[in-house]
Structure 1
């Protein structure tokens, strides 16, 4: 079903109680004004962001039939949680808990937005995220963090989450990290071997990270090393903001390209539609359209497992 152009309504903040977190979890919810059995995307922002970012993606997905819920993590610039805070070194884990708590709190989310009650499809939930948010989202899909000895940490996957979109997701750790990253971000040591849920990985071929000694291919590791059905969208000329996903006029965007963002959000929508609705032709149709588009700003490759 094509909901293109459907009006969207949002509410913020929706407060989800979070005992032991230090601050209750605040989220933003956006949804189309009509339609029932709406699939849900829980979106995790990048470092320093908040529930108010990523409008170019959220607006499109909500206008096309998804309810999108965006938590504000503790690393957000709006909260000022610094290295002297006892929670700081565990923020990566708290981020994952935030996403799970958001799924747990869908009753409160529904009740907070007038007219949304009873319209969410709890059986069709996906996660998405950008940068550090993509790593957070990947853990609900089965990715784990290796400890100092190279052993996988706890399995934090959530069976309620059936698919994901990982935008500029950091790659493997160890010797692939710069000395600074290895010292300050020991959690950036992912193991994708058990990440079996369907996922679309999106990488920019000009995304040169200061955290890795490798090139832009570092951001394709989740696709190369994950198990299960995976697809990789490589965006030509894209840096870490992938053309401007974090906001319409974001100062963080160094590679502004409305065409890249339009392709990304359209393909991500189609991927999730087909992942959440088996037999839905949105993904195959989007790929067919991409193949016949001359000068398209990206290319997709896929594998079954």
Structure 2
């Protein structure tokens, strides 16, 4: 397979990860487990962090969200989502992708762009989606499995992680006449934060038409990716939404913001707007999951009014 920037991604958590303690912890209602797995078949470590609701047991298994971080991230990131989902009754498994994780920020700073570009190649893009598959396989074969509802699994991700999520949800690429398809049939829904286009691909519809599970797309009017050698305007996030083949899908566009506002960083996109967007994103993602898994439309219907002051656009169809 020829080297190619498959993912629009140099994306971005790309501008410096942050691991500050979460301001939104609801620790009394969930436990946090760090899992240090190794995929022997690929010779690749697959660390993960699981946020598990305390009420989850064999008699009351809970839905699962498997989360993929942006480039330069780790299993420690996006705590504001993992903790909240677990507090709301959804287990959340945050997978760390060792070929495109926080280790990229170490080493010679003059070689940083080269390391980022290397992490954006097809090989790592495929390794990431295989990390997700391995993590699901391992978790669902573990003693924790009876506490999880394997019929209600969603994938989620930010930036490069959104591309990983799309691949796991059915996106197909053509490489020299061969279809690259890593769809995982266990995934019943997808949450896509700041999804970049698949870089270098002319028509996103040919790639994303095969994503047919319900999808939630979240972005902002200033959700721009701009690093050396790569640029993606905010309109690209909307194009991904439009190209996705899901009959049931929704798009939320916040006014202002930034590409990294959806990470744990607290000041990006504006010190006042940042926590508001995080609160709205948490609420919207839970409303989406409840609609998809439980058929409960109330929270999703009420969400636009509750956050009207910061939402530039909200569209939904089939939800």
TM-score when normalising by structure 2:
0.76
In structure 2, the residue matched to 1:26 is: 47
> Which is richer in helix?
2
Instruction: Give the secondary-structure state (helix, strand or coil) at the position aligned to 2:213.
Output: coil
Q: CA deviation at 1:287?
A: 2.7
Tell me whether 1:270 sits opposite 2:276 in the alignment: no
- Superposition pairs for residues 202-281 of structure 1, below 5 Å? 202-210=218-226, 215-228=233-246, 229-241=248-260, 243=261, 245-247=262-264, 249=266, 253-256=268-271, 257-277=274-294, 279-281=295-297
In structure 1, runs of 5+ residues without a counterpart are 177-187
Aligned pair partner of 2:162 in 131, 134, 146: 134
- Superposition pairs for residues 10-159 of structure 1, below 5 Å? 10-12=32-34, 14-35=35-56, 36-74=60-98, 75-78=100-103, 90-107=123-140, 111=143, 116=144, 118-147=146-175, 153-159=179-185
Distance 2:218 2:302 in 1: 18
Where relative contact order (Cα < 8 A, 6+ residues apart) is larger, the structure is 2
Instruction: Give the secondary-structure state (helix, strand or coil) at the position aligned to 1:24.
Output: strand
Q: Deviations over 1:273-292 (max 9, x none)?
A: 21122x223xx433324236
Tell me whether 1:7 sits opposite 2:23 in the alignment: no
Tell me whether 1:163 sits opposite 2:189 in the alignment: yes
In structure 2, the residue matched to 1:295 is: 309
Compared CA separation, residues 88 and 221, structure 1 to 2 (3 A): closer
Q: CA RMSD in A?
A: 3.2
Instruction: Give the secondary-structure state (helix, strand or coil) at the position aligned to 2:39.
Output: coil
Give yes or no for contact 1:172–1:221 (8 Å, CA) kept in 2: no
Give yes or no for contact 1:142–1:155 (8 Å, CA) kept in 2: yes
Q: CA deviation at 1:85?
A: 8.9
Q: CA deviation at 1:218?
A: 0.5
Instruction: Give the secondary-structure state (helix, strand or coil) at the position aligned to 2:180.
Output: coil
In structure 2, the residue matched to 1:181 is: none
Give yes or no for contact 1:144–1:152 (8 Å, CA) kept in 2: no
Instruction: Give the secondary-structure state (helix, strand or coil) at the position aligned to 1:238.
Output: coil
TM-score when normalising by structure 1:
0.80
Give yes or no for contact 1:41–1:128 (8 Å, CA) kept in 2: yes
Compared CA separation, residues 152 and 295, structure 1 to 2 (3 A): farther
Distance 2:164 2:132 in 1: 8
Give yes or no for contact 2:162–2:192 (8 Å, CA) kept in 1: yes
Count of aligned pairs: 277
In structure 2, the residue matched to 1:185 is: none
